[in-house]
Amino acid sequence: MGRWASISGGLSIERRAGGPTSDNGARAGLKPTEEGDVDFDQELDTRGLSCPLPILKTKKSLNGLTSGQVLKVVATDPGAVKDFQAFARQTGHALLSSTEENREFVFYMRKK
């Protein structure tokens, strides 16, 4: 399983060990799990934060990843949906998935 680490602001991230693997030409490591989620390399919890903090924390976390790695972001700000779409368009990072469940928004972003 992953290793949890604390970062400033009381947020937590999870780093998963292991490198990407090939999946019949698809982006390595992006296989749906049994729950329908996407495999990810790091998780960022931005629950309780309002715009622009979820995007700023995401940008900082993506800077620590290598090209092709996936960041999972959990947010509670309803404005984050449009913010993450715009962020992906403007930066070139891929927004792989955007879902909402129980007032929580989950985004998977692949670093360009």
Q: At what angle do helices 53-63 and 80-91 cross, to 10 degrees?
A: 40
Establish whether 29 is a catalytic residue. Answer: no
51, 81, 94, 96: which is the annotated catalytic residue? 51
| Catalytic positions | 51
